[in-house]
Structure 1
Amino acid sequence: MPESLFYPASYIVMAEAEPDLSTFENKTGLAEDMKFLASMPELCDVTFLVGDTREPVCAVKAVLAARSRVFHKMLYQPTGQQHQTLIIEEFEPDVFRQLIEYIHTGCVTLQPRTLLGVMNAADYYGLDELRRACAGFVQCCINVDTVCALLASAERYIQYKCTKSLVQKVLEFVDEHGNEVLNLGSFTLLPQHVVRLILARDELQADEFTKFQAALMWGKKYCDNNPNPNLKEVIGNFLEYIQFHKIPANVLMREVHPLGLVPYHIIMNALAYQTQQVSTPENCLPIE
């Protein structure tokens, strides 16, 4: 039976013309070698001092310039120096190191802690394929375990356009899983203004006592990490976002009032409102 019934004509021509050729690829080996190259300063010709700590990250100029027009413009200026040293303040060392690893090897392991930084660095240096990969990964990696890490890293890169669009998606996830997120230990690692932003959201699906406990947990962690703090003053920054009248009276008196952190008049107003609601449901909410 004719071979043309089984194989495309193009394949037959190639096989007849070059029967002894075979393509061998070792992309993984190449990536590993290039990754190892960046760990050997003597083989690199540019050193970046990255972040506030000025951590050194070494690279090969030719590789960076070939992969990124931004790096090409940055690195190939008439300096007359064999080995360049440049300061990078825009990104954290871990983020920049991952970016350089990707440029050298074509591979990088994306992780929630550095994801937003890598995405913005990719955008900044014109690596569109990496930026798209990061944006796609964010969509599928937002969960209870990663949400606080994503929000914490967003604080560092909030001035970049990529961050702003994704923070809203993360906050929407927080809204839908409010009670779970507020009970996370990692919630205490968020900046104060992010905690206030979350507690103030009307869309947040969390009960008021859970919100109070989250504020208390955050305040205790803050006091542990800072000298001479006043827990009552720290908690005071969050009280306006908690509707104490929605916390059951027995919980207010047993769990909240004994702590001495919530002003007495707020507790009394909340109790008075609950009493009024029982007798006259149409009464208005008192000002706390």
Structure 2
Amino acid sequence: MAYAGSAVLEGDAAAFAAAIRSLVNNPRFSDVTFVVGRERQEVFAHRCILACRCQTFQGMLCQPQPGAQEPWPPQTPLVLSHVQPEVFLAVIEFLYTNSVTLNSLIALEVFTSAVEYGLVDLRKLCVEFLTGALSVELVCEALQAAVTYGQMDLQQHCLVFVEDHTREVVQTRGFHELSGAALGVVLQSDRLAIDEPDLIRAVREWAHVSSVECIAEAWKCHALRKGRGAPSRLYQCRRGTQPREHHSYLQ
């Protein structure tokens, strides 16, 4: 007796997605509760969804409660005091729907959470959003996050923006709060659109907020940048540096 071949037939994807979305932060049928942020806001979830979507949550939910042998019981809330409720809800939204609602106020923290939870696709969505939302005020915070977490794709996008808007960026609070490592990424660029003395003044102002450790390195890096050409071109000026008489000696 012959049997017809099997086939995968799909129903209404939109209806399915809407049904799953309705479970986001829904206390009905939830079996795990998070207490999030300083506001101690309750967020409801379903451990089967969290566990199959994120290994970090899988490990968190499988770990026994301190002093107990069994996995974390449903009636005991998990306290996450270090994250904003809006940020955590964005992560939960992604885990349930594979999409996320972002704005410039939470995007960086969602990006940070994505890295910490190992959510590669969410991290990529955050980078996509941040790349399109970069501004003079936001770019240094984004660069700092990229350097801290070793995210080279976001770091490169931020650096290109800084190169094109250097004069405005160095006057922001975000620039003055960069770590030494993040500032070093900026100072190593050949394409900063600012004259050398102006940049050094900006670094000195940064030092009042941070430290003086990078001033000497900044001066050396920008006064004499090694060229990549023939041996006769040992040094070359950067893009934003204005021509000066003594530059002839650098050739």
> Are 2:228 and 1:242 equivalent residues in the alignment?
no
Tell me: CA distance 1:115–1:205, structure 2 relative to 1, closer, same or farther (3 Å): same
Tell me: CA distance 1:113–1:215, structure 2 relative to 1, closer, same or farther (3 Å): farther
> Are 2:37 and 1:45 equivalent residues in the alignment?
no
User: Cα offset for 1:29?
Assistant: 10
User: Cα offset for 1:168?
Assistant: 2.0
* C-alpha distance in 2 between matches for 1:155 and 1:57: 32
What is the Cα-based RMSD across aligned positions, in Å?
Answer: 4.5
| Number of equivalent positions | 210
Tell me: CA distance 1:69–1:235, structure 2 relative to 1, closer, same or farther (3 Å): closer
Match of 2:135 in 1: 143
TM-score by length of 2: 0.59
User: Cα offset for 1:211?
Assistant: 0.9
Tell me: CA distance 1:75–1:185, structure 2 relative to 1, closer, same or farther (3 Å): closer
SS in 2 for 1:83: coil
Unaligned runs of 5+ in 1: 1-23, 224-233, 247-273
Tell me: CA distance 1:45–1:137, structure 2 relative to 1, closer, same or farther (3 Å): same
Higher-Rg member (1/2): 1
Match of 1:152 in 2: 144
Higher relative contact order (CA 8 A, sep 6+): 2
Unaligned runs of 5+ in 2: 1-13, 64-69, 224-243
User: Cα offset for 1:195?
Assistant: 1.9
TM-score by length of 1: 0.53
Match of 1:93 in 2: 83
Contact in 1 for aligned 2:24/2:93 (Cα 8 Å): yes
SS in 2 for 1:93: coil
User: Cα offset for 1:283?
Assistant: 3.9
Tell me: CA distance 1:171–1:70, structure 2 relative to 1, closer, same or farther (3 Å): same
User: Cα offset for 1:200?
Assistant: 3.6
* C-alpha distance in 2 between matches for 1:76 and 1:152: 33
Structure 1: which amino acid aligns with 2:34?
A: T
Q: State the Cα deviation string for residues 113-164 of structure 1 (Å, max 9, x = none).
A: 6535534644665656534422322332233232112123234423xxxx23
> Are 2:168 and 1:180 equivalent residues in the alignment?
yes
Tell me: CA distance 1:29–1:207, structure 2 relative to 1, closer, same or farther (3 Å): farther
Contact in 2 for aligned 1:115/1:150 (Cα 8 Å): no
Tell me: CA distance 1:207–1:243, structure 2 relative to 1, closer, same or farther (3 Å): farther
